[in-house]
Structure 1
Amino acid sequence: MTDAPKAITLENDPLAAYCFSPAWQVGGLLFLSGQASIGADGSIVGEGDFDAQLAQTFANIERVLAAGGSDLSKVVKVTIYLTDMANFPKIVEARQRWFTPPYPADTTVEVKGLALPELMVEIDVIASL
């Protein structure tokens, strides 16, 4: 018998109004919804500042991973959405800052826009428990 999928919730989730779960646990894996530079109060952090947005995005990822019983060391897949591929070198630096070898599998794509026009990056991950 396998465990039923389980929604991961956050206390005071700033994105609850958008009607999606922060993550789902399915078996031994945690699937996170895309995380972006949204602060605890629902405001955009670092508008116009890619580095600040990236830092807040990773802080949000860490928060959701912790709520699901995981952490960055257990991330196996990363998908990164950039509104400007000129920021790709900063993504390489970010991988070295927040992950350790062996690095997670990765897909990075440039998109025309994200859910809110001020957002410059969104990241979703899959992690083990």
Structure 2
Amino acid sequence: MKKVMIFTENAPKPIGPYSQAILVENPGKFLAISGQIPIDPESGQIVRGDIREQARQAIENLIAVLEAAGATVEDVVKVTVYLRDMGDFEEFNKVYEEYFGHSKPARAVVEVSNLPKGVKVEIEAIAIFE
């Protein structure tokens, strides 16, 4: 079994003691992606828009980490979404469907009282691929 830390400049740098993702090869590949929030990786600034803008950036960050590990959205088997307000669920889903509507990975959406940097959404995922 081989365990590799994944890092890409195309997604925000971790803001704590964790990796963007961990890739496990045994013999297929298992990728656990840390929660991605709506930080613009170029500026390092939070995207301060509505839930749709924040969701889009968080998903784009997640995709950047997938690609850095050699995976795609099609390889994602599980997604966990943390929303600060479940009232944003419908609008979040519209953006989410643009990216995951065709592959439909298993998913959980949880309302939380707060998220890092005061953002509206955080998304983590698991991918399995060759």
Alignment TM class, shorter chain as reference: 0.7 to 0.9
**C-alpha offsets along residues 35-86 of structure 1, whole Å, 9 cap, x if unaligned?**
01001121101x1411110110111011000001101111100000000000
Give the corresponding residue for 1:39.
40
Higher strand proportion (structure 1 or 2): 2
Q: 1:71-110, aligned counterparts within 5 Å?
A: 71-110=72-111
Aligned counterpart for 1:24 among listed residues 9, 19, 22: 22
**Aligned equivalents of 2:114, 2:34: Cα separation in 1:** 17
Aligned counterpart for 1:6 among listed residues 1, 4, 7: 4
Structure 1 residue matching 2:35: 3-state secondary structure: coil
**Aligned equivalents of 1:87, 1:15: Cα separation in 2:** 26
Q: 1:51-70, aligned counterparts within 5 Å?
A: 51-70=52-71
Structure 1 residue matching 2:117: 3-state secondary structure: coil
Under a length normalisation based on structure 2, what TM-score does the superposition of the two structures give? 0.87
Under a length normalisation based on structure 1, what TM-score does the superposition of the two structures give? 0.88
Deviation at 1:116, TM superposition (A): 1.1
**Aligned equivalents of 2:57, 2:12: Cα separation in 1:** 13
**Aligned equivalents of 1:76, 1:16: Cα separation in 2:** 23
**Aligned length, in residue pairs:** 125
Deviation at 1:16, TM superposition (A): 3.9
Identity %, equivalent residues: 37
Deviation at 1:108, TM superposition (A): 0.5
Tell me, yes or no, if the aligned pair for 2:11 and 2:65 is still in contact at 8 Å.
Answer: no
Contiguous gaps of at least 5 residues in structure 1: none
Structure 2 residue matching 1:73: 3-state secondary structure: helix
Structure 2 residue matching 1:15: 3-state secondary structure: coil
Q: Report runs of 4+ in structure 1 exceeding 4 Å deviation.
A: none
Q: Judging changes above 3 Å, is the alpha-carbon distance between structure 1 residues 77 and 86 closer, same or farther for their aligned structure 2 residues?
A: same
